[in-house]
Amino acid sequence: MSNQKQKIIIANWKMNPATFIEAENLLKTVKGGIKKSDDVKIVICPPAIYLAKIKTNSGFELGIQNIFWEDKGAYTGEVSALMARKLGVKYAIIGHSERRIYLNETDEMINKKIKAALKNNLKPILCIGETLEEKQKDRTSKIIANQLKLALKNISKFQILNSRFYFAYEPIWAIGSGETPSSNEVMSAALLIRKIIANLYDRQTADNLSVLYGGSVTSKNALDFLDNSGMNGLLIGGASLNGSEFNKIVKLLNC
Supply the residues annotated as catalytic.
Answer: 96, 170
Instruction: Compute CA 102 distance to the chain's CA centroid, rounded to the nearest angstrom.
Output: 18
- Pairing type for strands 40-45 and 7-12 reads parallel
Query: Residue 126: beta bridge partners?
Result: 94, 167
Rounded distance, CA 195 to CA 198, Å? Answer: 5
First-to-last C-alpha distance (Å) of the chain: 25
- Pairing type for strands 210-213 and 233-236 reads parallel
Q: What is the DSSP string of 163-177?
A: TT-EEEE--GGGTTT
The dihedral over CA atoms of 213, 214, 217, 222, expressed in degrees to the nearest 10, equals 10
CA 156, 11, 53, 78 torsion-angle sign: positive
- Pairing type for strands 7-12 and 166-169 reads unpaired
